[in-house]
Every structure is written in C-alpha cells, then in structure tokens.
Amino acid sequence: MDPAEAVLQEKALKFMCSMPRSLWLGCSSLADSMPSLRCLYNPGTGALTAFQNSSEREDCNNGEPPRKIIPEKNSLRQTYNSCARLCLNQETVCLASTAMKTENCVAKRGLDHIAENILSYLDAKSLCAAELVCKEWYRVTSDGMLWKKLIERMVRTDSLWRGLAERRGWGQYLFKNKPPDGNAPPNSFYRALYPKIIQDIETIESNWRCGRHSLQRIHCRSETSKGVYCLQYDDQKIVSGLRDNTIKIWDKNTLECKRILTGHTGSVLCLQYDERVIITGSSDSTVRVWDVNTGEMLNTLIHHCEAVLHLRFNNGMMVTCSKDRSIAVWDMASPTDITLRRVLVGHRAAVNVVDFDDKYIVSASGDRTIKVWNTSTCEFVRTLNGHKRGIACLQYRDRLVVSGSSDNTIRLWDIECGACLRVLEGHEELVRCIRFDNKRIVSGAYDGKIKVWDLVAALDPRAPAGTLCLRTLVEHSGRVFRLQFDEFQIVSSSHDDTILIWDFLNDPAAQAEPPRSPSRTYTYISR
C-alpha cells in the first residue's frame, strides 16, 4: 500500500475514534447528529468522502468535490475491516450508521449487508443497545438475524456453549438456513433464547460452587479383585480399566456394559483411546492396542520389564512409563506399526505419570521430582523440585503443570522457569489423580474425596489459601483412582469398584417443584 494511502486510512480511523458517544447513542436520526464527521459514498470516484462541517457540505453541493479521506480501491471494505479489527463498539456503530444512512448513494442491499456484518461483531449488551437506537437499526438487527449469529459465534469459540447446544437441543437451529423440521425460527426466537442460555451457564457455575449435582453410579461387579484403576469417556461411552485384568466399555446413557476386552494377564493400570484405537498398559508389563469399534486386539508391545503405569499418545507419537524407572518414546505409523524411538532414563524410582505436547515431555516419579524433556530431541531440559514425597499424578498444558503427591499436596508449576506457583493443601492422604481446565482443578485422593479448586484464584498470589477449595465431594467409599471432567460433569473411579457420574447441569433438587429434599443424601464438606 502506498504510504500516503496508509496515512489517509489512519486519519479516517482517528476521525471515527474521536466521535463522542452522545452523537450516536439513542438518536433517532443519527446521520443528522454527526456534524463532526459525514461519510458519503461518491459513485463517480468510488471513494468514501468526509465533510468536517455543514459549509463544506454546501460547497460539495455546488459542484466542488469533497475532500477524500480513504483511497477509492475497496474503500468500503477496507474501512469495514479496519473497524472490525478495532473491536471498539463506538467506532463499529458509527460506521454501521454511516452505511445505513447513505442508501441514496449506494444500493440499499449492499449497505445493509455491510451494516449487518459490522454489527455482528457486537456483544449481547451492545446489540441490545443498538436495537434501541432507531427503527432502522432494529430492522437491520432483525433482518440480519444478528442474535442467531451471536449465538453461533459463541458456540464456535466456547466449549461450554457448544456442549449446551448439544444437551439442550437448540444446536439444531444453528449453522443452517433451514432446520430439520423445515421451519426457520425468526430473530425473536434467538433473542429470547440468548438469556435462557445465560441462565443455564449461571446455573452450572453455581452448581459447581455449591456442589449441587445429580449422581449416577455404575457397579462394575468384578468377579475377582475389585477396583477401577483408569477411565476415559465421551458422550457415548465410558472405557474403564479394571484390577481384574479386563477393559470394560459402558454405554454412557444406559450405563450398561457393552463389551469386555480380555488379553492382559495383569491389572489394567492406564488407558487412552481415540476414534480408531484403545491403548492400554498393564501390570503384566505390556502395552496392548485394540480396535475401538470391534474390540479386536491389534498389537502387543513388549519393552518394559515391570508394570506400565501410565501412557499418552497423540499425532503419531506415544510415551509410556513404568515401574522399571524408564520412559519409552514410540513412533506410531499405524496401530500395527509402532516402533521404539528412544528410552529416557533419569528418574531414581518408578515413573508414575507422563504427559507431553509438541514442545515438552513431562514425567513424575516416586523420587519426588518432575523432569522435563524436549519432545523433538528427547534431551533432558530441567527438574522441578518441591514435593516432599513421591508424585502420583500430573497434567501439563501450555506453561502450566499441576501435580499431586503422597505428601498430600497439589503443586502448580511454571514449566519454563521451573518455579512453583502455588501449593494447595486439603487432602488427608495421597493425591492420586488430578485434572484441570481453564477454570478449575479437580483432584481425587486416597482419602476417598474429590476436591474442586478455583484455578484462576490459585494462580493469583494475592488470593488467600482458604478460598481456593470450592467444594469437597464425598461419595466413594474407597480410594479415588482416576477422574476426568468437563464443563458439565465429573466421571470418577475408585477402589470401591464403582464409576460415578457427577452431573452439574441437571440437578434434580433444583428442578423439583416445589423445592424439597432429594430422595438421597449428599454429603458436602468445605474447607
């Protein structure tokens, strides 16, 4: 772009940014209320032009061409893109108003289209205000289905909204011109839907903080030794690894056992699955690969000389760790073509857990340390020291590592500098499993308790320690071995041979009319 043209665009944006809010908010005739800036489209030159005052406008009417502030090539589009990038409501609204009020110079539909696209960047509060400006603004909002577009934008970018769309059923009305029933709802439908979604979200957050939930229990009915060591779930199924050497797959909706996989000669201690395979590790020292749909055993990897305690795989790479103190890095070309790339040695006790991404492999051991390795080269990077006893679990994502130990504490670490950011205390026995997302940490321990922690507060050094544990959930009668959670639920397994599903979206006590005590008793203990 020519430097002069860039300067002119910058001046145009500064004009719009200088517009006082009083010139547009609540005005019924917005164009007549903006003497400091008049943007018109000149069909002869194809350029946006500006009048600084009424006399300059009169000069233009007498035949003198107005001063050009934006180059003619793609001028409307450039202005729209620039304002959209600003993400500032005042500038966005000013430009949208300009587009709508210059329909005598440009085809009406074209300007409406531009206005709709600009206003589609507004949040809900700003969209409500825009509807109240005048009838034309309300019409553009309605004709453009801007409330639908706002909801669709939230569903695309937020997993909580995406999950609610699936669970509540209103997702069928999004991302298509005509829904399955053939009747397209009007804009008013989506405008009324939005506050209901917000209410659902507020209810979920309240339920997490107050411990309100519905509870479902799967009795695994192991015939020999009892205990569910590991699990993973999705919307359709729960895959569990048991102490009785089997892998059991459960229907998530009916809670019935759909398939039992046999082949291991020891307890199934760890597992992970994707859309193609289930991979399991066992106390029989082997790693086995199964077809996720048929249950057929596809491969057996024999490398470790003691129990395989944990494994992770992603993007053609797998990492396993063992009681033999070693970490194995594997290349996965296919389920039947898995080759050993490298063995990492450095821990002085059993390696209990591993996690990795494209940058680092992170391992934790009974030797009280967390070690960080380079994913590409498999070279050692650093050691994180701080736990007083062996480390049983961890999760790693971005720069954050969260670990749980037999010293009964949870620690948060910055992986780049190795600093311990926070120590969480509250469990009375070994912290056996831990997971976190953007909002919270959920931990399970040998004391039979599951604790929910405020992650945002835990990362704030000013937050008092006593405010970090939001809720303690007590339902398991044995040690908690493994858990996984999302925005709506926790799924946990225990030495008591059960799998529990804690549902924070559908709380029967809150839905009862009139309010009454639930049929079962829940015990909640807060720190």
Using alpha carbons, list the distances in angstroms from residue 268 to 255, 288, 291.
21, 10, 17
Residue 437's nearest CA partner among 448, 424, 453 is: 453
278 and 247 in contact (C-beta within 8 Å)? yes
What is the pLDDT tens value at each position of the chain, 527 positions in all?
Answer: 556 555 544 544 454 444 443 333 333 333 333 333 333 334 444 333 433 444 444 443 444 444 433 334 444 455 445 444 444 455 455 555 555 554 444 444 566 778 888 888 899 999 999 899 888 889 989 988 999 999 999 999 999 999 999 999 999 999 887 666 667 889 999 999 999 999 999 999 999 999 999 999 999 988 788 999 999 999 999 999 999 999 999 999 999 999 999 999 999 999 999 999 999 999 999 999 999 999 999 999 999 999 999 999 999 999 999 999 999 999 999 999 999 999 999 999 999 999 999 999 999 999 999 999 999 999 999 999 999 999 999 999 999 999 999 999 999 999 999 999 999 999 999 999 999 999 999 999 999 999 999 999 999 999 999 999 999 999 999 999 999 999 999 999 999 999 999 999 987 665 554 433 333 333 333 33
Write down the CATH number for the domain with range 91-172.
1.20.1280.50
In terms of Cβ atoms closer than 10 Å to its own Cβ (0-12, 13-18, 19+), residue 76 is buried
> Whole-angstrom Cα distance, residue 430 to residue 312?
22
Residues 6+ apart with CB under 8 A from 10: none
Residues 6+ apart with CB under 8 A from 439: 454, 455, 456
Structural domain boundaries in the chain? 91-172, 208-507
The string over 261-292, giving b where at least 16 C-beta atoms fall within 10 Å of a residue's C-beta and e elsewhere, is: bebbeebbbbbbbeeebbbbbbbbbbbbbbeb
CA 250 to chain centre: 25
Residue 83: predicted pLDDT:
44
pTM of the model: 0.77
The CATH classification of domain 208-507, taken from the options 3.40.50.150, 1.10.3720.10, 2.130.10.10, 3.10.129.10: 2.130.10.10
356 and 371 in contact (C-beta within 8 Å)? no
Widest pairwise Cα distance in the chain: 98
The beta strand positions in 366-513, using DSSP E, are 369-374, 380-385, 391-397, 400-405, 409-414, 420-425, 431-436, 440-445, 449-454, 469-474, 480-485, 489-494, 498-503
β pairing state of 400-405 and 409-414? antiparallel
Residues 6+ apart with CB under 8 A from 157: none
Residue 150: predicted pLDDT:
95
Partners of 128 in the beta sheet? none
Question: Phi first, then psi: what are they for 454, rounded to 5°?
Answer: -85, 105
> Whole-angstrom Cα distance, residue 329 to residue 312?
10
> Whole-angstrom Cα distance, residue 60 to residue 43?
14
Partners of 231 in the beta sheet? 240
DSSP of 121-172: T--HHHHHHHHTT-HHHHHHHHHTTHHHHHHHHHHHH-HHHHHHHHHHSGGG
